[in-house]
Structure 1
Amino acid sequence: MNKILTGAAFVLCSAVSLHASAGGNIDSGKAVTVKYGCASCHGADFNSPIDPTYPRIAGQHADYLAHALTAYKRGGDAMNGRSHAIMGGMAKPLTDKDIADVSAYLASLPGSLARVK
């Protein structure tokens, strides 16, 4: 029984690990940000938002960006969802591939965020 549980845990961890390391396409992500006009709020460089309450997303960690976009897509009433009138509407039509691509693109940009090593 232990061998079965150990094997199942290994397979599950491997699948999660592969999913987590799968990156998006930077060029496709750039196209998605243009299509949805992300720069209109977050700034042309994604580091100069039009409102100080909007986040600077250039150079942010891709996994965080993907998590945030997925949460906005789920909405505030869903488990692990986020409620925001603008971002909810922007994220709703995004596919999982779009989210991975946008996250990869934004993470590739130079930003002013401090990274802890």
Structure 2
Amino acid sequence: MASAYRRRARWMATAVFLFGLSPLAAQAAGTPALVPLCASCHGEQGISASPIIPDLAGQQQGYLDNALHDYKANQRQGGSAAMMNGIAAHLSDADIAALSAYYAALKRN
């Protein structure tokens, strides 16, 4: 099962580039480079369309930072942890800080 999540995470990363959601274009617009990858599940403005995928907009920055570090260290289990562990494994500390700050600053609807 974990390999299916990893395949999906790799597919999403590939789709970001293939469908023109270039991280460089996002960064040029003042958005962290990896937001398009997050948006594929968590929504363009950090509001998920699915009740099983959490909203990121308006979350506390420290919570998001800790959660991404925990995913990166494989310290979270269950739910979508296998997929998030695979995605977070490739994030640098700077990526995590930028994403956490970005989503914490977004307003919830």
TM score, norm. by length of structure 1: 0.61
C-alpha distance after superposition, 1:19-56 (max 9, x if no partner): xxxxxxxx4x622212xx11110111111x14211111
* Alpha-carbon distance in structure 2 between the residues aligned to 1:33 and 1:90: 12
TM-score, with structure 2 as normaliser: 0.65
Tell me the C-alpha RMSD between the 2 structures: 1.4
For 1:104 and 1:44, locate their aligned partners in 2 and report how far apart those are by CA, in whole Å: 15
| Residue in 1 that maps onto 2:95 | 98
Residue 86 (structure 1) shift: 1.3
One of 53, 76, 91 as aligned partner of 1:82: 76
Distance, in Å, in 2 between the alignment partners of 1:65 and 1:95 is 14
Which is greater in Rg? 1
Which segments of 5 or more consecutive residues in structure 2 lack a partner in the other structure?
Answer: 1-29
Query: 4+ residue stretches of structure 1 with deviation over 6 A?
Result: none
Matched length:
77
* Identity %, equivalent residues: 43
**Following the alignment from structure 1 to structure 2, what is the Cα–Cα distance between the partners of residues 72 and 46?**
18
